[in-house]
Amino acid sequence: MYYGKVDENLIKELKNICGSKYVITDKDQMLGYRTDETIEAEKMLRVPFPDAVVKPRFVEEISEVLKLSNKKRIPVTPRGGGTGLSGGVIPVYGGIVLSMENMNKIIEIDKENLMVVLEAGVALGDLYKAVEREGFFFPPHPGDEGAQIGGAIATNAGGARTVKYGTMRSFVKGIEVVLPTGEVLNLGGKLLKNNTGYALMHLIIGSEGTLGVITKATLKLLPSSAAPMILVVPYSNRHDAIKTVLEILRGGVIPLGIEYMEREAMERSEEYLGRKWPTEKGEGCLMVMITGKDEDEIFSRSECIMRICEANKALDIFMAEQKRDQENVMEIRSKMYEALKGDMMALFDITVPPGRMGKFMKKVEEVSEKYGVSMSTYGHAGDGNVHVHLMKTDVKKYEKIKEELYEEGSRMGGVISGEHGIGLLRIGDLHISRDRKEIELMKKIKKVFDPNGILNPGKIFPA
Amino acid sequence: MGHGAKDEKEFNVIVLVKQVPEAEDVRIDPDTGRLDRSSAEAVTNPFDLNAIEVANRIKERLGGKVTCISMGPLRADSTLRDSLARGCDRGILLSDKKFGGADTLATSYTLSCAIKKIGSFDLIVCGEKTTDGDTGQVGPEVAEQLDIPHACFVEEIKAITESSLVVRRKTENGYMILELKLPALISVTKDINEPPLPLLKNKIKARKAEIETWSASDLSEIGDVERFGLTGSPTRVVNVGSPHVEKETMMIEGGSSREKAKKLVDILEDLGFL
């Protein structure tokens, strides 16, 4: 692919469009706009600088920036909160990084239709707070609350609550999107049903910023329920824990989330934060989050889940009811990645059908033993998304381990990425989960939306 | 022997607990200066969880029974249920309009009446203070009302037998090791232990447990009703304000390290430090 150069004239034009305050070319100031939360070792590549970072405030500006870039063939990499785990915002070909940080207004909380309309740069944490104040609840929770709505939609983010509510896709009802050629489309709306031709909106969701720049979204809300309860359930082995998860899902009481964590990851996080996990028992723990309309419902659901845990050799069932106790376990859970990151080689995001999870974990154990490497596991046990953390080892071993796990995952009907996406990181492995014809169609779709290949080039497949 | 008379068979511990608004939700109303509890969830005072854990560990060693007492509105029964779930054997709620508006004196008097009504006890444990009142006075005042020895800010129990207790108490510039003859009262700091999370099955059981509720008339044979609640409280809250902050933080921004250092020197000179 041929790309044009960002020269002084182009910078001038960008400044004319967005205002000079909102166009950055100083290297120091661009430092934070090069990458995301992906492990350095895993990227195994040099992270380039963009030529400019543009921070527009209005959709019209984005449209103009894209028109200009399309004309001059300048690569444009849209960027949200930079919390991704697949290198999706790395400006591989330089050019412009389009940061959405200034488009951060919550436009409307529509109480009649239970919808929120907001700009793409709103941080998830701010969204949660805003809707909570009005008595609503927005379920998808990918983890890092610094993530932005636009990025969460572009990557169809998942997270701990997917088991009960599904991924972002289930809650996005409308988007405003700017095409790489500059046109602005409004797809969907405040509708719960919409069968009018191809669902282009759903094509944009999860397209990882390669088909258009999401600038606004309409999201479905739920009425808020009573404060959730968190159960902490230690097990002496992972198989009992995973068996419990499957039985809970079959039992009909679907919790808000079921997370599985192993001792090593917990200990690393405890040390990192200077906090203490509530129990020293067990090799692994389930963390089960339960909601309900009131305390009675929460307790009766908890009781059902307790019986299943007990039948599957749970060592104890603790209850974190107070906010500070809940915050403690949530914090230890959410900082596991950060705590392990420095010593990690790779974070696998393989997802298998939930019923195969136990078998897949067994494979992880075998591979770990075979290569003599440490692979700590934690993640969203309820939805088959097993995050395997490979600690530092040599590249050759890494390649072999990856191959074996990907192969086994595929054999079980799984995919190489459940929620982190292909981005830059898994470009070479897409063919494992998608066949040739599928990839060919994807590439053709990309061409239709982005004839000059300027938008987030080098992601999902090579530019 | 008086109210602290020994029961030969059982070692009895009493824990004083209180329901408080969950700390992060509490605001001070700028107009009235009062605590605005409207948005806050009610929880067991965090320090009381340490007290309960102390009682649990003593029970593990010496056997016996742990009784928790709380004074508060009827809905404070949830705090007693929480205490039961965390290992206490019996919960007593002191609830009556006549108990309302009590300062620390009236509160400690009412609690001491209830303790007398229970009868025999060997040790009373409470948290060092509550997160809402923050006085730390009720514990020692209860001990005075009962005329028993007490130690505050206990951070370690070094030894305990049926008749005496050795504790380490925190002081402003160090610590003290004290030996107390039982019965006695101690108030404990949050460093004394790490209270474990309650077990779900105990929580479920505690939800159905019976909580005894005592009113002012239940205590009228033991105490003077006039000394309960507002009528028994000489303290008047005239005004509540935030403390004046005398420390100020200044950020020196922009420029090189040398320039920043120069700015710092200028500021220190202006303030008369250099």
User: Would residue A130 count as lying in a domain?
Assistant: yes
| Per-residue confidence band for A163, with pLDDT thresholds at 50, 70 and 90 | confident
Are A142 and A191 within one domain?
yes
Per the structure, the count of domains in chain A is: 4
Identify the closest residue of chain A to B39 by CA–CA distance: A133
CATH code of residue A366: 3.30.70.2740
Q: Which of A46, A67, A101 is the last residue of a domain?
A: A101
Residue for token pair 């154990």? A365
| Least reliable range by pLDDT among A248-257, B30-39, B181-190 | B30-39
Given this model, what pLDDT does residue B19 score?
Answer: 93
User: Considering CB atoms only, which of A303, A318, A322 is closest to B43?
Assistant: A322
With CB atoms and an 8 Å threshold, state whether A319 touches B200.
Answer: yes
User: Would residue A14 count as lying in a domain?
Assistant: yes
CATH node for B12-232: 3.40.50.620
Rounded Cα distance between A27 and A5, Å, is: 17
User: Tens digits of per-residue pLDDT, A74-112?
Assistant: 999 999 999 999 999 999 999 999 999 999 999 999 999
Rounded Cα distance between A349 and A343, Å, is: 18
With CB atoms and an 8 Å threshold, state whether A321 touches B24.
Answer: no
Rounded Cα distance between A416 and A431, Å, is: 10
A19 CB neighbour count, 10 Å cutoff: 13
User: Would residue A357 count as lying in a domain?
Assistant: yes
Are A181 and A260 within one domain?
no
Are A299 and A406 within one domain?
no
| pTM, 2 dp | 0.82
Give the residue among B72, B104, B93 at the shortest CA–CA distance from B232.
Answer: B104
With CB atoms and an 8 Å threshold, state whether B194 touches A321.
Answer: no
A295 is in which domain, residue-wise? 229-332
Who contacts A198 (Cβ-Cβ below 8 Å, separation ≥6)? none
A183 CB neighbour count, 10 Å cutoff: 12
Give me the DSSP letters along B165-225.
Answer: EEEEEEETTEEEEEEEESSEEEEE-GGG--PPPPBHHHHHHHHHS--EEE-HHHHTTTS-G
| Secondary structure of residue A1 in the 3-state scheme | coil
Rounded Cα distance between B39 and B20, Å, is: 12
Are A262 and A218 within one domain?
no
Residue ranges of domains in chain B: 12-232
Are A191 and A272 within one domain?
no
Mean pLDDT of chain A: 93
For residue A323, the chain B residues in CB contact (below 8 A) are: 22, 24, 41, 43
Are A218 and A244 within one domain?
no
Residue for token pair 């999902």? A460
Q: What is the mean pLDDT of residues A184-201?
A: 95
Are A122 and A205 within one domain?
yes
In chain A, pLDDT over 90 holds for what percent of residues? 79
**Whether pLDDT at B240 is above 80:** no
Are A118 and A205 within one domain?
yes
CATH code of residue A90: 3.30.43.10
Given this model, what pLDDT does residue B1 score?
Answer: 38
Are A137 and A184 within one domain?
yes
User: Tens digits of per-residue pLDDT, A21-59?
Assistant: 999 999 999 999 999 988 865 666 678 899 999 999 999
| Secondary structure of residue B268 in the 3-state scheme | helix
Given this model, what pLDDT does residue B251 score?
Answer: 80
**Is the separation of the CB atoms in B185 and B139 below 8 Å?**
yes
Q: Which of A185, A205, A223 is the last residue of a domain?
A: A223
Q: What is the mean pLDDT of residues A105-131?
A: 97
Q: What is the mean pLDDT of residues B245-266?
A: 82
B148-183 CB burial, b ≥16 within 10 A, e <16: bebbbbbbbbeebeeeebebbbbeeeeeeebebebb
B230 CB neighbour count, 10 Å cutoff: 13
Given this model, what pLDDT does residue A212 score?
Answer: 98
For residue A317, the chain B residues in CB contact (below 8 A) are: 199-201
User: Considering CB atoms only, which of B44, B196, B201 is closest to A317?
Assistant: B201
Which segments of A232-356 does DSSP mark as H helices, in order?
Answer: 238-250, 263-273, 295-311, 323-334, 336-341
CATH code of residue A252: 3.30.70.2190
For residue A24, the surrounding DSSP H or E stretch is: strand A23-24
CA A327, distance to chain mean position in Å, is 21
Mean pLDDT of chain B: 88
